[in-house]
Amino acid sequence: MKAVILAGGSVAVPGDLVSDAAQAGDEIYRLIEELYPLCRSISGDGVRETFELVNRVVPVRRTEVPTGTEVFDWVVPREWNVREAWIDAPDGTRVVDLRDSCLHVLGYSTPIRARMPLSELREHLFVHPDDADLIPFRTSYYHENWGFCLARSTLDALPEGEYDVCIDSTLADGSITYAEAFLPGSSEEEILISTYSCHPSLANENVSGIAFLAVLGKYLSTMRLRYSYRFLWSPGSIGPISWLARNEQLLPSIRGGLVATCLGDRGHMTYKQSRRGDAEIDRAVAIALRDAGAEHEVRPFVPLGGDERQFCSPGINLAMGALSRTPADEFPEYHSSADNLELVRPDRLADSFAMYARVIDIVERNGRWRNTNPKGEPQLGKRGLYRNVGGGSSQEAALLWVLNLSDGDHDLLTIAERSNLEFTEIAGAADRLRECDLLVPA
């Protein structure tokens, strides 16, 4: 990354991070490797350990919300922790063991220590619906149960007989935990970037999001920024609901934001618009995707999916979309042991990082300006803004577009949309025009 203040006096902008993306992708991948084995759920010590690892990358503040706290229509559930979970076959062989994979235990399983025939045990065994070799990911947060997840091929090989079963878990009053990193900017207006921290060993969905936010926060923390940035890691659904309920006073200052998930898989970038659909963040992401020139998809808001459901509920209605690679539940490895460290790759994480850098750059640099010389074109030549008489490069076109539409009604994003020029060219033209006083704030 370039120094914040460059030699020429110009300030580094988030768009400069595009050139740091490969390095950032490697850092994110290494953090994913560390986070992957931890047994997370919507509460518990696995989450706290996770936040400690994140805290080494970017400083976070942890909040505990006690069991029983009312948060809007919900009540914070009991805290769950699991120490061991295994099944021993009639011959004493340990056929399922939490130590092999966090996925083996049904999330929020109540404790059990029993001996029972396979026929009875079967009702507590869950397999993947499609693939005999994969362990599925299953939970039962709001309906008490216990169980194990395992490969159908393992299950099919189990002989009849009596099995020893152990889940050493506690489901008791405690708290859920969320973490925030806050980067103050010049303005009190904030950009909120949120991800969910409740999934155990699922590398793309959503260990990638947890690690991505940490590294993005670290890089941004060295820049002088216009807006303040808040990164939020919290358990899915109950996490954003708790955070929103406790931070209602903050909401008016949230200019916009993104829900960041599934950032390392092989798919192209996918953006799901905010409920507003035409918020600045929606337009910024659309232009960032366009300017990057790679395959991508933009989808309208639907009230199904991830945590954007809470941020975009009608009484909250934040300008927050979801920017991911393949959305959760659309890649075949979703919610199974195949969502592992092979699925996420540093170069794809880097690509996602570069896209977030572009988006943040646009949000940081966007604005409405007023042409101080609005009658006729100003003479660019005498200000050294025309390299030659004639010509007509895209740089000169950018100058003319910015001058023509800077009447106070059009922001730079609109100018980038209308001109079909890259946002960085438009923003660069605006910088040059401000330097010679041809633009002032609108």
Query: Can you give the binding site for a second copy, defined by CB under 8 A?
Result: 71-74, 139-143, 237, 240-241, 244-245, 248, 275, 300, 302-304, 309-310, 312-316, 371, 373-379, 381-382, 389, 392, 397, 400-401, 403-407, 418-419
Residue 118: phi and psi, rounded to 5, are -55, -40
Q: Which is nearer to a second copy, 40 or 358 (CB)?
A: 40
DSSP string, 245-278: HH-GGGGGGEEEEEEEE--SSSSPEEEE--SSSS
Q: How far is CA 222 from CA 2, 5, 184, in A?
A: 10, 11, 11
Q: Which is nearer to a second copy, 113 or 375 (CB)?
A: 375
Q: Which is nearer to a second copy, 58 or 403 (CB)?
A: 403
Helix (H, G, I), strand (E, B) or coil at 301: coil
Among residues 385, 436, 439, 386, which one has the least CA distance to residue 412? 439
Question: Which residue type occupies 289?
Answer: L
- Min dist CB 229 to a second copy, Å, is 23
Q: Which is nearer to a second copy, 84 or 407 (CB)?
A: 407
- Min dist CB 379 to a second copy, Å, is 5
- Min dist CB 116 to a second copy, Å, is 24
- Min dist CB 426 to a second copy, Å, is 12
- Min dist CB 418 to a second copy, Å, is 8
- Min dist CB 384 to a second copy, Å, is 12
- Min dist CB 304 to a second copy, Å, is 6
CB half-sphere exposure, 163, CA atoms < 13 A: 23
Question: How do beta strands 269-272 and 320-324 pair?
Answer: antiparallel
Among residues 307, 330, 327, which one has the least CA distance to residue 318? 307
Q: Which is nearer to a second copy, 43 or 352 (CB)?
A: 43
Distance CA 370, CA 302 (A): 37
Question: Which residue type occupies 236?
Answer: G
Lookup: tokens for 2: 């370039």
Residue corresponding to tokens 């200000």: 383
**Exposed e or buried b per residue across 153-166, where buried means at least 16 C-beta atoms within 10 angstroms of its C-beta:** ebbeebeeeebbbb
- Min dist CB 225 to a second copy, Å, is 29
Are 189 and 101 a contacting pair, CB within 8 Å?
Answer: no
- Min dist CB 329 to a second copy, Å, is 9
The C-alpha angle 230, 232, 233, rounded to 5 degrees, equals 155
Q: Which is nearer to a second copy, 13 or 399 (CB)?
A: 399
Q: Which is nearer to a second copy, 142 or 293 (CB)?
A: 142
Q: Which is nearer to a second copy, 72 or 116 (CB)?
A: 72
Cis omega before residue 206 (within 30°)? yes
Q: Which is nearer to a second copy, 138 or 255 (CB)?
A: 138
Contacts of 162 (CB under 8 A, 6+ apart): 90, 115, 116, 117
Q: What is the dihedral of CA 28, 33, 35, 39, to 10 degrees?
A: 150
- Min dist CB 257 to a second copy, Å, is 16
Q: Which is nearer to a second copy, 261 or 419 (CB)?
A: 419
Helix (H, G, I), strand (E, B) or coil at 219: helix
Distance CA 61, CA 300 (A): 33
Burial class (CB in 10 A: 0-12, 13-18, 19+), 199: buried
Q: Which is nearer to a second copy, 52 or 407 (CB)?
A: 407
H or E, element range at 136: none
- Min dist CB 315 to a second copy, Å, is 3
Residue 48: phi and psi, rounded to 5, are -65, -40
